[in-house]
Amino acid sequence: MAELTLLEAVNLALHHEMEADSNVVVLGEDVGDNGGVFRATVGLKEKFGLKRVIDSPLAEALIAGVSVGMASQGLRPVAEFQFQGFVFPAMEHLMCHAARMRNRTRGRLTCPAVFRAPFGGGIHAPEHHSESVEALFAHIPGFKVVIPSSPQRAYGLLLASIRSNDPVMFFEPKRIYRTVKSNVEDNGQALPLDTCFTLRKGRDLTLVTWGACVVESLQAAATLSKQGIEVEVIDLASIKPIDMNTILRSLEKTGRLLVVHEASKTCGVGSEILARTAEHAMCLLKAPPKRVTGMDTVMPYYRNEDYFMIQEDDIVLAARELVEGWK
């Protein structure tokens, strides 16, 4: 067992699954010789050769289309888009073919493909390098959408995604690629793709978050604990399907819900969680549910980036309003 960064855990999972299954192939821009734009695929081409680690042209539509063809014919492609904001040229292949292959062929063909992309702000990059548009893909029938927030979960969830017989959008929070570390055992054990992870127990408030915002959420929970407010922190991890059972069980105990995400507020995944809570657990709530989110605007350039990004203090303030303002 070694202490790894989230980026290294992704690389370890790719190595493990390519070793275990000769049908797994990796493709994308600079994934071979350069080891990927963030070096997530370092060492793969040297170990598995150019027929299984394929450098593509700068053409996201091509990457997606070739991946769909590979997957429908028995391979398990893991395609990399350099940034989530570069995915849009590939949308026709993703929405109209990858997500619909099983239904269109009445189960005769499936699309066991993983589409990886770093996402989110906080690294002083331009706006199209800093997108958080996971909600777009959660709205598409046929996709699973996964966002890890720790090295252990990145390893286990990526293994499960590669082994899935349906397409998975696997978004990696690049702000914490190298800053979050934990011990990861290369044991080949996958994690479920339909389950939340409770990271901290609490009695006063349920905080649901995902991606890089997990860091600030845990920091805020520690601060609030010193103020007498115990927050239960849940890493959603699976954006689709959403594990509402875990969230509702927590609400039975706390009666208060706070959702934190970096993406824009309007029609975000937080809206779906609040809507389902209203449908199934309104009577459990002691206060109206609340969201702390990014703004309904394009990510600003780096000098103003902190105004968009969620800070620990934002979460602490919202939590105190939920607990103290509705006693």
Name the residue ranges covered by the structural domains of the chain: 2-184, 197-324
Single-letter residue type at 79: A
pLDDT at 327: 67
pLDDT in tens, 46-104: 999 999 999 999 999 999 999 999 999 999 999 999 999 999 999 999 999 999 999 99
Whether 290 shows a pLDDT value over 90: the answer reads yes
Residue 261 has a pLDDT of: 98
Which residues, 6 or more positions from 34, have their beta carbon under 8 angstroms from its beta carbon? none
pLDDT band at 37 (very low <50, low <70, confident <90, very high): very high
pLDDT category of residue 303 using cuts at 50, 70 and 90: confident
* CATH fold for domain 2-184: Rossmann fold (3.40.50)
> 279 is written with which tokens?
């449908």
Mean residue pLDDT of the chain comes to 96
Residues linked to residue 4 through DSSP beta bridges, in sequence order: 182
End-to-end CA distance of the chain: 46
CATH number of 197-324: 3.40.50.920
Phi, psi of 269 (to 5 degrees): -65, -30
Alpha-carbon dihedral of residues 321, 322, 326, 327, nearest 10 degrees?
Answer: -100
Q: Decide: helix, strand or coil at residue 205.
A: strand
Sign of CA dihedral 65, 69, 70, 71: positive
- Confidence grade of residue 105 (pLDDT, cut at 50, 70, 90): very high
d(CA 190, CA 157): 6
Determine what percent of the chain is predicted with pLDDT higher than 90: 93
User: Catalytic annotation on 129?
Assistant: yes
Instruction: Render pLDDT for 134-162 as a digit per residue (tens, 0 to 9).
Output: 999 999 999 999 999 999 999 999 999 99
Helix axis angle, 6-20 relative to 151-163, nearest 10°?
Answer: 30
* Residue 50 confidence (pLDDT): 96
Instruction: Give residue 127's pLDDT.
Output: 82
Is it true that 2-184 and 197-324 share their CATH fold? yes
Instruction: Give this prediction's pTM.
Output: 0.97
pLDDT at 125: 87
Catalytic residue selected from 16, 97, 129, 261: 129
pLDDT band at 302 (very low <50, low <70, confident <90, very high): confident
pLDDT band of residue 326 (cuts 50, 70, 90) is confident
55 touches 29 (CB < 8 A): yes
